[in-house]
Each structure stands twice: as structure tokens, then as C-alpha cells.
Amino acid sequence: MQIEGKPRDHITEAGIVIAGWTRLWSQLLVVHVAGPDGRCRGCPSSMNVAPRSPCRLAELAGAAQQAHRAQSREGAVRLAPDQEVNLSSTASCTGRYPMRG
């Protein structure tokens, strides 16, 4: 499947799911940034070296931000000509619980 002509991947799919959780992905964007060494400042570990920036969480947050912007413009993200995901029914504005009809 594709989103707006681009091949879908797990990060993009997850970004669509969390697009309504603005507090989550905006905090991820704040915390998971490159340090002076080019590694993610939000992924410290005493066992491993932090990954190069952008880390997977920063990529996820960026995908969620893009999906949120698309939702704001169109009200839905187009997956394919015959499919749509209405993001407003996926999560509430607070991002805590799915909206109920």
C-alpha cells in the first residue's frame, strides 16, 4: 500500500496511528535531537552508544507530525484511491483514548 505515492513503512504507519497524540510526538521531537557528536540526545544508554540522529523515535515523531498536518489540511490521509483512514476517529484530541461514535 502507499500513502500519497510513497511506499508505506512501519514508521509511516505508526505515525498515522499516533498523529492525534500531539503531546506525545511533539515531546519526542523536542527530546530526540542531534547532539554535538551527531548522535541522539534522547537515547542515552550506559550499555550502548546512542544512535545517529535522527533516531527511530525522532523518525516516528516526524511521521506523526506529517500525518497530523495532512489531517489538518484534508481531514483524512489517503492510503490508496479506494481507501482512507479518518484520523479523527483514530484518537481523541487529548490522545488518551480512541473516540467513540
Q: Is 71 within the bounds of a domain?
A: yes
Note the residue count of the chain. Answer: 101
Number of domains in the chain: 1
What pLDDT is stored for residue 53 in this prediction? Answer: 92
CA distance 20 to 14: 11
Kindly report the average pLDDT of the chain as a whole number. 77
What pLDDT is stored for residue 13 in this prediction? Answer: 93
Give me the domain span that covers residue 64: 2-88
Q: Is 98 within the bounds of a domain?
A: no
Determine the average pLDDT of the residues in 19-41.
95
Q: Is 101 within the bounds of a domain?
A: no
What pLDDT is stored for residue 65 in this prediction? Answer: 96
Q: Is residue 78 pLDDT above 70, yes or no?
A: no
Q: Which carries the bigger pLDDT value, residue 78 or residue 96? A: 78
Q: Work out the angle between the directed axes of helices 10-18 and 22-31 (0-180°, nearest 10).
A: 130
Q: Percent of the chain having pLDDT more than 70? A: 65
DSSP 95: S
CA distance 71 to 97: 18
